[in-house]
Each structure stands twice: as structure tokens, then as C-alpha cells.
Amino acid sequence: MKLSCIADFISLLFPELCPACGESLIATEQLMCTQCRYTLPFTNFHLQADNIVARQFWGKLNVEGAYALYYFAKGGKVQNLMHHFKYKGMFRIGNLLGSIAGSQLMQNDTFKTVDYIIPVPLHKTRLKERGYNQSKCFAEGLATKLPGVVNDNILVRIRATETQTHRSRFLRFENMQEVFKVTNSSKLENKHVLLVDDIVTTGSTLEACGTELLKISGLKLSIATIAYAE
């Protein structure tokens, strides 16, 4: 029996499912079904300088541009997608979504000048548990479309924190104090850095990272995430 026939037989018994909608993928589809690729709730923030994510950092961070690929809603397809990405080992979803986001961001002149793409770091204990940093996977996908180079060594997490899920905005901000450190600031002097994370809600994690990065002389900061959750 040919290998292709065996593969078809296995896929018939154990069909690969779209992590967003749960429907079976057809032979020509990879990671996500065609319908979800085109119908998930895009924000189009790359076309709006004054968008919701950008407003979150007014008066807190001097940001060149801010962006999220999708709107996040509880019980929605984007939540399903993110759950599989973060907790089911489907790290390649991050690469795919980064590529999609990168194509959008190349339509915006602000993001065409990015020198470095820096993912929000995980603490070493969390990284060991999960096996990968979801923000780095997203960053690697972005780098296939944007001119910036991924660097996950300059910004490090020096303190583990508890989950932010059920905390108020103030407590989230307080929880993120003195969590991150820049290890080689001279490399980022006068550079445009794109700081990336998976989901932005209150923005406290990105604010804490951005505050450290903006201590560097001449650094310009932009932000990109997979999803925005109100």
C-alpha cells in the first residue's frame, strides 16, 4: 500500500481538526480551516493608528504603533485557537498567526522600520513546563514578513508571577513590578523594537516590559499581539 494511501486511511480514522471551530481539516488545509482563516474577527488595527490597543498605553508608554490581529471573546473561536496554541502543544499556530499578522503590518509604514522583534519572556520554570514560549512562536512568524530579527535573549523575566486572570487592572500592574530586565541595552540603542505577546487585556505585562525597554537611549517601541480582549 502506498504511503499516501496509508496517510489518507489514518486521517479518515483520526481526522485533524481545526483548533478554532473543531471541524475536520481537508487534505489541502494545514493547522486551521480555510473558513476560519478568513472569517475570524480581524481587528484591522494596522489601518488605525488611534486604535483600542494604542489607547491603552497613552500616558504610560511612548509607542510608535500598536496592533492586535484578532478580537478575543470568551467562548469564541479565537479563545479555542489560543487554548490549543498555549496549552495543547500546537506551537506552530503561533508561526501561522505571526505570518498572517506580518502581512497586515507590512501595509503600515510604521512597522516597516522594525529592527528587532522581542517576545515577552516566560520565566524559566513556566518555559520548562510548557516547552515553548508562545510569544516567541508568534514573533518567529512575524519575522517571515517583517524586516526585524527575533531576539529572545535581551529581555528576560527575573521573577515568576502568579496568573493575572482574576486580578484587577491595578493588581495586575502591581504584580508586574520588577519582573523584567534588559541584559544588553547597547544592542538596542537607537533601534526600533517590536514587543510582542499573545493576548493584551489591561496591558500591564506589556507596560512593564516596555518601561524597561524605553530606558534605553534612542529606542523606539511598537507593540503587536495576536488578540485583544476587553
Domains of the chain, earliest start first: 1-35 (no CATH), 40-229 (3.40.50.2020)
Question: Considering the entire predicted model, what is its pTM?
Answer: 0.88
Between CA 14 and CA 6 the distance in angstroms is: 12
Q: pLDDT tens digit string along 82-134?
A: 999 999 999 999 999 999 999 999 999 999 999 999 999 998 888 999 999 99
User: Parallel, antiparallel, or unpaired: how do β-strands 116-119 and 149-150 relate?
Assistant: parallel
Q: pLDDT tens digit string along 156-171?
A: 998 876 554 555 555 5
Please name which of 207, 107, 124 lies closest in space to residue 159, comparing C-alpha atoms.
124
Asked if pLDDT for residue 9 goes beyond 50, the answer is no
Identify the bridge partners of residue 195 per DSSP, sorted by sequence position.
Answer: 118, 223
